[in-house]
């Protein structure tokens, strides 16, 4: 019903809001899940923001009220989800497991086997492996120290690792046989 000034009656506005509420309720249920306990709160907040915006003439195009309402609803849903994750308790961090350390005797044998394997390598391979793995020097520093190019360094490192692996595996097999 429209009065003489061109305004819509309160009953008509109430019916239109009820129609919008039914559609919004379905959209919110779809987005948040049909078992969400806060569906009505999200719908009411959306309608409140929509009515505040329409009374303050903040809609750019009044003909696109449905799209405007949809955007408000989407923002309220996103705020609701952020609030859920922000208010949720932090997950418990499990304690760090104790480090798996080798017994001192096995650690001594391992160091001895590594030293023996390194002795069997060439001086350049020893220098590259020691600097890269044991001393953990940056690659640029190793390149200056050895005079290798970056591509050549990668090749030397790869071959030195493979030689050491063969030597170490061979010594482990001979120790297991004896």
SS (H, E, C) the chain: CECCCCCECHHHHHHHHHHHHHHHHHHHHHHHCCCCCCHHHHHHHHHHHHHHHHHCCCCCCHHHHHHHHHHHHHHHHHHHHHHHHHHCCCCCCCCCCCCCCCCHHHHHHHHHHHHHHHHCCCHHHHHHHHHHHHCCCCHHHHHHHHCCCHHHHHHHHHHHHHHHHHHHHHHHHHHHHC
Is residue 1 included in any domain, yes or no? Answer: no
Whether the pLDDT of residue 10 is over 60: the answer is no
99-158 pLDDT, tens digit each? 788 888 888 888 888 888 889 999 999 999 999 988 999 999 999 999 999 999 999 999
- For residues 67 and 121, state if they share a domain: no
CB atoms within 10 A of CB 161: 15
Is residue 154 included in any domain, yes or no? Answer: yes
Is residue 101 included in any domain, yes or no? Answer: no
Is residue 167 included in any domain, yes or no? Answer: yes
Q: What is the pLDDT of residue 104?
A: 84
Whether the pLDDT of residue 2 is over 70: the answer is no
- For residues 20 and 82, state if they share a domain: yes
CATH of the domain at 29: 1.10.1740
Is residue 54 included in any domain, yes or no? Answer: yes
Cα–Cα distances in angstroms (integers) from residue 105 to residues 31, 44, 111, 119, 124, in the given order: 62, 72, 10, 21, 30
Using pLDDT thresholds of 50, 70 and 90, give the confidence band for residue 1.
very low
Q: What is the pLDDT of residue 5?
A: 46
Is residue 92 included in any domain, yes or no? Answer: no
- For residues 56 and 120, state if they share a domain: no
CATH of the domain at 127: 1.10.10.10
The domain total for the chain is 2
Whether the pLDDT of residue 45 is over 80: the answer is yes
Of 54, 87, 120, the residue that ends a domain is: 87
Whole-number Å distance between alpha carbons of 162 and 170: 12
Of 34, 59, 87, the residue that ends a domain is: 87
Q: Cβ(59)–Cβ(50) under 8 Å? A: no
| % of the chain at pLDDT higher than 70 | 89
Of 87, 118, 133, the residue that ends a domain is: 87
Domain that includes residue 64, residue range: 10-87
- For residues 115 and 81, state if they share a domain: no
- For residues 124 and 166, state if they share a domain: yes
Whole-number Å distance between alpha carbons of 77 and 114: 61
Is residue 111 included in any domain, yes or no? Answer: yes
């Amino acid at each position: 019903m429209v009065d003489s000034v061109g305004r819509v009656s309160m009953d008509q506005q109430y019916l239109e809001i009820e129609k919008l509420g039914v559609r919004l309720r379905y959209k919110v249920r779809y987005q948040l899940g049909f078992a969400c306990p806060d569906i009505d709160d999200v719908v009411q907040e959306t309608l409140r923001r929509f009515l505040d915006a329409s009374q303050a003439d903040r809609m750019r195009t009044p003909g696109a009220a449905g799209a405007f309402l949809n955007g408000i609803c989407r923002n309220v849903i996103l705020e609701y989800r952020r609030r859920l994750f922000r208010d949720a308790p932090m997950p418990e961090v499990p304690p760090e497991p104790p480090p798996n350390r080798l017994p001192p005797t096995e650690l001594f044998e391992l160091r001895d086997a590594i030293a023996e394997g390194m002795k069997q390598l060439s001086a350049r391979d020893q220098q590259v492996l020691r600097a890269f793995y044991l001393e953990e020097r940056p690659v640029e520093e190793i390149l200056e120290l050895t005079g290798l190019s970056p591509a050549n360094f990668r090749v030397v490192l790869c071959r030195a690792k493979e030689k050491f692996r063969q030597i170490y595996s061979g010594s482990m097999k001979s120790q297991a046989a004896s």
